[in-house]
Structure 1
Amino acid sequence: MDRYFPVIKIHGAAEDRGRQHGTLLKERIHQTVEFYQKQFQLPEEQILGIADQFRKSTMAFREDISIEIEALAKAAEVDSLWIYALNGRTELLNLNPMECTTLSFKKQSLMGQNWDWDSELEELAVILDIEKEDGHRILTMTEPGMIGKIGMNHCGVGVCLNFMTIENYQPYGVPLHVLLRTILDSKSLREAQSLITSQLPGKVGNILISNGNGEILDIELAGDEYFSIPVEDLFVHTNHFLSKIDYDLMLFPNTVGRYDRAKELLNRLDDPSIKSIKDILKDHGNGTYPICRKRFSHPWLTDDTSITVTTIVMDLKRLQFHITRGNPFDNPFTVFSLKN
């Protein structure tokens, strides 16, 4: 396997972007659909019924994104409802919070995270380099068929995501990954906030949004509710709620262990920098629940294997996107620039 993620460049209007995505990643999209068909562990009729609600909500919210998704599905020769299901994978996988450690250094306009998930995704994930008709450019690490995920744009707006869970969750509204793409389509943090606020209910997870001016916003999504979390100069979020959600943290030792270890490392920092954020994300000092995960037993995955698929660090001031394929302890960072 190559040490670097493929970079897939798409450009133009929504239909053009979708067609390019579906054509260039056709085989990977089919593999990704097959992967999630196993992971969702729901009857196909139920999955596609939820996906149809995602389709209707997305069309009402962002017609251009619906056009992009439909063109993507057509080019990849996949039922478009499965593409909506992929973009709603976070909602459909509301299971056990064992994905991802996110960090931000507010004054330095740095943010980054580990994306911990099934080892199969290390071979499937890609970097999308998107240029829209107006010249707006996005770099995002994503899964084939998903229109956006963790990433940043040329305006210095970046976004990270943490998977979380609540009891008795029923998804509604647009898929979370459509909101991530909307953030990446935004020219400022305030624009992103204004666009997504009406669509926050119906989802579960944590979204961290920042920009090159040191502004930062952390939002915990908890079904019908959402909470804005105060962000310190040095901030960490894993996969449990920092707000008032009441549940037994002892049920989730993995996320608490990573959070506590990251806080310990942050408290030791004298000079927050790109290097120090990378050092924390590659730490495996907590041998039971390491921040950097080479291999971990995951009870909800069908193959029982979770790893750090990628580490991403974004310098929103310098417009640099740093990324590894595989865990950052064993693999090098590649640096991309969004400067003209």
Structure 2
Amino acid sequence: MTALRFKEVHLKGGAAERGYQQGKALKSEIAQALAYYKALFNLPDSVLQAQLGPFRQVIEQFKPAYMEEMAAIAQGAGLSADDILLLNARSELLNNLSVSECTTVYNQPTGLLAQNWDWSKALEPLISVLHIEQAQGPRITTLTEPGMLAKVGMNSAGLAVSLNILKSATRLQGLPVHLFLRAVLECESLAQVKALLKTVAVGKASHVLVADAQGEFLSIEFAADKHYLLASDHHGIVIHSNHYLADTQLNTQEAFPSTYERYRRAAEILSYDRSDRGVQSVLLDQSEGLASICRPYSPSALANFGEVGTVFSVLMKPAKKTISIRPGCKADTPFYQLQL
């Protein structure tokens, strides 16, 4: 059986060059993603543009090159710079949207970081793998939505990163988490990632796990104006879905659907098999129906969202600099591997 593969795009040069290359290469995909999210927001463009102001200011203060890269993506795709900023800030703008979401496992003894990304079926054919070569800094491979600067991925320095969305009662206006992920992937050590937390930790509601090639990691819960660092269990395992672990009082709002079921099921599987095969079986588990870790696509209750399910699964081994990818939620779809 021929493995299904996501489109791969190679980007190199300065920020403007890389941005234009992505915009041109993914012009159709970016337009489709933008149309999808605008329908999901269901707000006038003027209202959306007004909400982008604080993000623009934060990004300019943090790293103007990100604004330059997003503007160049827009140019290459024939869109406005605000359109691309909207895509990159969509997690914060959609804060508290209730759909089934992601599950992450980190196996510290074997150095495997694994994740399912659950979201809209409409996005699966649009997902791209970006191979980013910068003039300075490590090479980056990231599995992401078109028009974004990064999502899940790894770099040539041996840092891998995963993402789980969380909820916050607070309006989120910090550095968008997808740009934080890009900043993490530009780091060459966990010490550099810790330094980022001193400047851009606020304004997000997410769990980000960063693992290095030596088997060390940072498991970070962002809760608007606070952040927490989590430890592994006594077996060196970290499991995260879409509820807070550091401060359970933050879960007073209705958590994402199936988050507790997925967490418990992952813990159950790993209680008797903590090998890499056990971790992979967590990502592929469909034993709980629509509450499964590998969720079959089914209609969402949200207007304009469409079907929700597992869009991709990813296994990352920083020590070996390999990323194994599995598109979609069908039981018989194999992984394929990329080597950094």
TM over 0.5: yes
| Class of the TM-score when normalised by the shorter of the 2 chains | over 0.9
| 1:119 maps onto 2:121 in alignment | yes
TM-score, normalization by structure 1: 0.93
Counterparts of 1:1-340 in structure 2 under 5 Å? 3-94=4-95, 95-96=97-98, 98-134=100-136, 136-167=138-169, 169-232=170-233, 233-246=236-249, 247-248=251-252, 252=256, 254-269=258-273, 271-273=274-276, 275-300=277-302, 302-327=304-329, 329-338=331-340
Checking the alignment, whether the CA contact within 8 Å between 2:120 and 2:308 is kept in structure 1 is: yes
Distance in structure 1 (CA, Å) of the matches to 2:187 and 2:104: 21
Alpha-carbon distance, 1:288 to partner: 4.3
What secondary structure sits across from 2:9 in the alignment?
Answer: strand
Distance, in Å, in 1 between the alignment partners of 2:3 and 2:302 is: 28
Q: 1:151–1:159: 8 Å Cα contact kept in structure 2?
A: yes
Other structure's SS at 1:324 match = strand
Q: Distance in 1 between matches of 2:311 and 2:254?
A: 26
Q: Aligned in 2, Cα 1:202/1:135: closer, same or farther, shift over 3 Å?
A: closer
Runs of 4 or more above 6 Å deviation: none
In the alignment, residue 329 of structure 2 is paired with which amino acid?
Answer: N
> Shift of the alpha carbon at 1:260?
0.5
| TM-score of the pair, normalised by structure 2 | 0.93
Counterparts of 2:41 and 2:230 in 1: how far apart (Å)? 30
Q: Which amino acid aligns with 2:91?
A: T
Summarize deviations over 1:8-61 as a string: whole Å, max 9, x none: 111111111011001111111111110100112444222212223212211110
Retained in 2: the 8 A contact 1:201–1:221? yes
Greater CA deviation, 225-234 or 205-214? 225-234
Query: 5+ residue gaps in structure 2?
Result: none
In structure 2, how many angstroms separate the alpha carbons of the residues matched to 1:251 and 1:183? 27
Once the two structures are superposed, residues 194-231 of structure 1 have per-residue CA deviations (whole angstroms, 9 ceiling, x without a partner) of 12432111111111111111111111111112211222
The CA RMSD measured in Å over matched residues stands at 1.8
- Whole-angstrom distance in 2 between the partners of 1:126 and 1:23: 13
Return closer, same or farther for 1:84/1:160 CA change in 2, 3 Å cut-off. same
Secondary structure of 1:65's aligned partner: helix
Alpha-carbon displacement from aligned partner over 1:174-209 (angstroms, at most 9, x marks no partner): 211110000011111111221243211111111111
Inter-partner Cα distance in structure 2 for 1:285 and 1:82: 39
Change beyond 3 A, Cα 1:251–1:18: closer
Q: 1:281 to 1:123 in 2, by over 3 A?
A: same
Question: Counterparts of 2:129 and 2:247 in 1: how far apart (Å)?
Answer: 35
Paired with 2:290 and 2:28, the residues of 1 have a C-alpha distance of 36
The CA deviation at 1:245 is 4.0
- Work out the percentage of aligned pairs sharing the same amino acid: 33
Say whether the 8 Å CA contact 2:242–2:255 is kept in structure 1.
no
- Cα separation, 2, equivalents of 1:225 and 1:322: 33
- Structure 1 22/182 Cα, relative in aligned 2: closer, same or farther at 3 Å? same
Shift of 1:97: 5.4
* Stretch of structure 1 that moved more, 253-262 or 325-334: 325-334
Deviation at 1:328, TM superposition (A): 6.1
**Quick check: 296-305 or 135-144, which moved more?**
296-305
Could you tell me how far apart the structure 2 residues matched to 1:75 and 1:185 are?
23
Distance in 2, Cα, partners of 1:56 & 1:50: 11
Distance apart, 1:2 and its partner CA: 8.3
